[in-house]
Amino acid sequence: SLPALYGAGQIEMETGQHTFVSSGTKMYRDYETYVENFVKGESVMLLLSGDVASVDTLRAEQRLGDSLMEDSRVLAVQSLASVVGGAMRRSTSVAYVPSNQGELDELIARLPPELVGALLPDEQYSLVFVDVEAGLEQRELESLLARVEDMAREAGFPPGVNIETMGAARFAAELRDEMGRSLLFMLAAVVAAMILVLALVFKHVQRRLMPLVGVLVAALATFGMTGLLNIPLTMASMSVFPLLIGIGIDYFIQFHNRVDEEMRAGKPAEQAVKDGMRMIGPAVALAVLCAGLGFSALFGSPVPMMVQFGGLSLLGVTLCFLAAVFFMSPLLYLIYRRREPGVWSERRGEGRPETPRELGIERLLGRVSLFCAKHALPIVAIVVLLTVLGYSYDQEVGVSVDEESYAPPDMPVLVQAKKLASVTGSGNSLQVLVRSDDVTSRAVLVWMDEFEQYVVSRHERITGSSSLAGVVKGATGGFIPQTSAEVDMVLRSIDDSVLERVANGTSLGLITLTTDTTETGALLEPLAALERDLEWMSPPPGTYATLTGELVLMESVLDPLTKGRYEMTFKGLLFIFLALLIVYRDLFKALIPVLPVVMVTGLSGGVMYVLGMEYTAVSATMGALIIGLGVEYF
């Protein structure tokens, strides 16, 4: 238990794009290039509201930026104050905020509109971007977030200026906290439900809560192995543990109930445990094998969190079976050895085997079974029809690939993000990564400009764009210089903080397309159209343009969550059918448990359509769950 507790303490919650898309794909490598060169790290965003363009506010921003840059984990701080300071440094060699409000307003008016719009979207709101080092450990990132908030409070912002923390780093930290709370709540809820069910349904057995003790030991062992093997918990794999208790307790109940029956038959404890385990063990082992084969089908998914879900589920059911054999059997022996064979209730008399009363649920199930047997043909016909309809309408079930859809809608950082979207009037953005020997050449700049104008005019969802071409045109008054020397002269006049947003040296450029929506699903059609646009309006020779960014990664998950889930489900069923065929050596016996699972899978898709639910990386594993749970019953 001590190693298990130690391992459980080492578990890390993991979020981010790499949990959806494999890091070995070209698409993810392009995304990494974009992040390393233009995002550079995690992003903490401060939203200021109030008199955000006053001298006092900008001087407080400057003090905040100077304090944050003393932390080695902070890569850069971008704010209106830093841009104003940069402009003053170019003219006076000293970076400072003018003390006169009129002079400050005049200076802000001369700054590039794209830059001012990004930092000052509204007269009442301003943004401060804090780029922090990528790859920080969870605890270190949370510590840095707290430090940013403390420094913001100590920077001396004037009264009436409010500061809210948001951004990718804040979202990741809050999401991990929410995952931890949700996991604890789910575990507590499922344990409470198991106690209630065992207390009500398992009355005829001594020590009725003992199966719960066994499955909790197995769950603790799974927690421990998860930490010791450095398996992170994602939004999908964290749901394994409450499911594991539900699946595993069935194994423990079967062992417990069988030994209890052997004791009622008058056998001594040692013999009862031995015979009970021998008789029920192979059946439970076959159920575990089938469940494991169902979960192993998830290993073929290109979505990392689904692979982790399958691996953790396989580990969990295996440990449940081992705990039932090696923990439950000696525990049953220790409890039952003190009782005479056949003695079960002191209140009902000594030395007389107790015959358990038929439970209400047993009577109900008996009547339902009898009814179904008498009306077998129409019931089977109805179920088959509903299954066909379920598979048909399952194709219409929506798919959610936005990481924010996994979080509670009232989570503070999401509420703040919606507020920011309403302030800026923009939604998600799409990125085009441009590679070239020289992205500052006139040919590349002209192509960027023409491509941006084309896609903005052609796609209703795309409302604007920014790129190196746009920055150059902003500095020249609306045109691209004719010669490379003129382009170089213009680029030297532009602040580095502006250039870093659209280019990295001369080899990489970035086109950012802004949209009017934050809904990922609404951008799937424009994404596909942009791919075709890049093929039709290809860049100059030696230059390559690739769509990238978070939305592109999320779009790549759609296929595995739609067509891929059927492939995984039926692959798991094929594995189970072959295993049962080897065990039973009878085609009919091997096929019988598989057919109901096929029907239940179709029915579940139909139910999701009727209820208006959406598939996620979690619910897409439902086929494997149905296999793991259902084959044993059938």
pLDDT digits (tens, 9 = 90+) for 560-573: 777 677 788 888 88
pLDDT for 352: 45
The pLDDT score that the predictor gives to residue 593 is 83
Half-sphere exposure of 114 (CA within 13 A, CB side): 22
Q: What confidence category does residue 357 fall into, taking pLDDT thresholds of 50, 70 and 90?
A: low
Q: Can you tell me the distance from the alpha carbon of 478 to that of 476, in angstroms, rounded to the nearest whole number?
A: 6
Query: Is residue 349's pLDDT more than 50?
Result: no
Contact 402, 520 (CB under 8 A): yes
With a cut of 80, say whether residue 592 has pLDDT above it.
yes
Q: Give per-residue burial for 27-49: e unless 16+ CB within 10 Å, then b.
A: bbebbbbbbebbbbbbbbbbbbb
- What average pLDDT score do residues 375-393 get? 90
> With contact defined as beta carbons under 8 Å apart, do 332 and 214 qualify?
no
Nearest by Cα to 464 from 476, 474, 455, 475:
455
Contact 105, 69 (CB under 8 A): no
346 pLDDT band, cuts 50/70/90, is very low
Q: What is the pLDDT of residue 309?
A: 86
Q: How far apart are CA 501 and CA 497, in angstroms?
A: 7
Mean pLDDT, the chain, rounded, equals: 82
* pLDDT above 90: residue 176: no
Residue 403 confidence (pLDDT):
64
Give mean pLDDT, residues 183-207.
82
The Cα 464–Cα 480 span in angstroms is 19
Q: Where are the domains of the chain?
A: 20-166, 183-348, 412-556
CA atoms of 304 and 142, how far apart (whole Å): 25
Domain 20-166 matches domain 183-348 at the CATH topology level: no
Which CATH code is given to the segment(s) 183-348? 1.20.1640.10
Burial of 181 (0-12, 13-18, 19+ CB in 10 A): exposed
Span of 73-77, 344-348, 621-625, 630-634 with lowest mean pLDDT: 344-348
Q: Please give the backbone phi and psi of residue 341, each rounded to the nearest 5 degrees, phi first.
A: -55, 130
* The architecture CATH gives domain 20-166: 2-Layer Sandwich (3.30)
In this predicted structure, the answer to whether residue 471 has a pLDDT above a threshold of 60 is yes
Q: How confident is the model at residue 509 (pLDDT cuts 50, 70, 90)?
A: very high
Pairing of strands 398-399, 614-615: parallel
Torsion angle of the four alpha carbons 601, 604, 609, 615, in this order, in degrees rounded to the nearest 10: -70
Between vectors from CA 81 to CA 77 and to CA 86, what angle results, nearest 5°?
85
The answer to whether 508 touches 457, Cβ cutoff 8 Å, is no
For residue 497, pLDDT over 60 is answered with yes
pLDDT band for position 350 (cuts 50, 70, 90) = very low
**Distance separating alpha carbons of residues 630 and 634, to the nearest angstrom:** 6
Which residue in this structure is represented by tokens 């996994």?
406
pLDDT beyond 50 at 2 = yes
DSSP-assigned letter for residue 233: B
Residue 450 has pLDDT above 90, yes or no: yes
**At 234, phi and psi to the nearest 5?**
-105, 180
- pLDDT beyond 50 at 244: yes
Q: 504 pairs with which residues across the strands? A: 508
Mean pLDDT for 481-497 is: 85
Q: How far apart are CA 300 and CA 317, in angstroms?
A: 19
**Mean pLDDT on 335-364:** 57
If we measure between CA atoms, which residue out of 18, 10, 1 comes closest to residue 226? Answer: 10
Q: How far apart are CA 306 and CA 293, in angstroms?
A: 15
DSSP-based three-state secondary structure for 451:
helix
> How does pLDDT run across 524-574, given as a tens digit for each residue?
677 888 888 898 888 999 899 999 888 888 777 777 777 677 788 888 888
Q: Would you state the pLDDT for residue 265?
A: 81
pLDDT for 172 beyond 70: yes
Which SS3 state, helix, strand or coil, does residue 259 take? helix
Q: What is the dihedral of CA 417, 467, 504, 554, to 10 degrees?
A: 50
Start-to-end CA distance of the chain, whole Å, equals: 35
Tokens read off for 395: 């194709």
- Residues whose CB falls within 8 Å of the CB of residue 68, separated by 6 or more in sequence, listed in order: 74, 77, 130, 148, 151
Residue 433 has pLDDT above 90, yes or no: yes
- Compute the average pLDDT of residues 254-274: 84
Q: Is residue 426 within 8 Å of 463, Cβ to Cβ? A: yes
**Is residue 211's pLDDT more than 80?**
yes
Is residue 16 classed as helix, strand or coil in its secondary structure? coil
Residues 6+ apart with CB under 8 A from 286: 580, 583
Q: For 301, how many CA atoms within 13 A lie in the half-sphere containing its CB?
A: 38
Sequence-separated (6 or more) residues with CB below 8 Å from residue 263:
269, 272, 336, 339, 341, 342, 344
Give the predicted TM-score (pTM) of the model. Answer: 0.76
- Concatenating the DSSP letter of every residue in 327-347 gives IIHHHHHHHHTTS-TT---GG
pLDDT tens figures, 10-23: 777 777 777 778 77
Q: Give strand ranges (E) for 259-335.
A: none
Q: Which of 27, 61, 303 is nearest to 158 (CA)?
A: 61
Where do the H-state alpha helices sit in 405-441?
412-424
Given a cut of 90, is residue 448 above it in pLDDT? yes
Most confident of 63-67, 495-499, 601-605: 63-67
d(CA 568, CA 300): 7
Distance of CA 475 to CAs 55, 465, 487, 498, Å?
Answer: 26, 16, 10, 11
| Helix, strand, coil share of the chain (percent; to 5) | 65, 10, 25
What is the reported pLDDT for 151? 92
- Rg over alpha carbons for the chain, rounded to the nearest Å, is 31
Beta-ladder partners of 49: 125, 162
Is the pLDDT at 268 greater than 90, yes or no?
A: no
Residue 134 has pLDDT above 90, yes or no: no
Q: What percent of the chain has pLDDT over 70?
A: 89
- Tokens read off for 326: 């090696």
Nearest residue to 1 via CA among 209, 210, 217, 211 = 217
Residue 207 banded pLDDT, cuts 50, 70, 90: confident
HEC-encoded secondary structure of 80-136: HHHHHHHHHHHHHCCCCCCCCHHHHHHHHHHCCHHHHHHHCCECCEEEEEEEEECCC
> Where is 291: in which H helix or E strand?
helix 269-296
Strand (E) or helix (H) holding 455:
helix 442-458
Largest CA distance in the chain: 106
Tokens standing for residue 427: 């939604």
Q: Residue 344 — very low, low, confident or very high, per pLDDT cuts 50/70/90?
A: very low
Question: How far is 95 from 82, CA to CA, in rounded Å?
Answer: 8
DSSP 217: H
| β-pair partners for 233 | 13
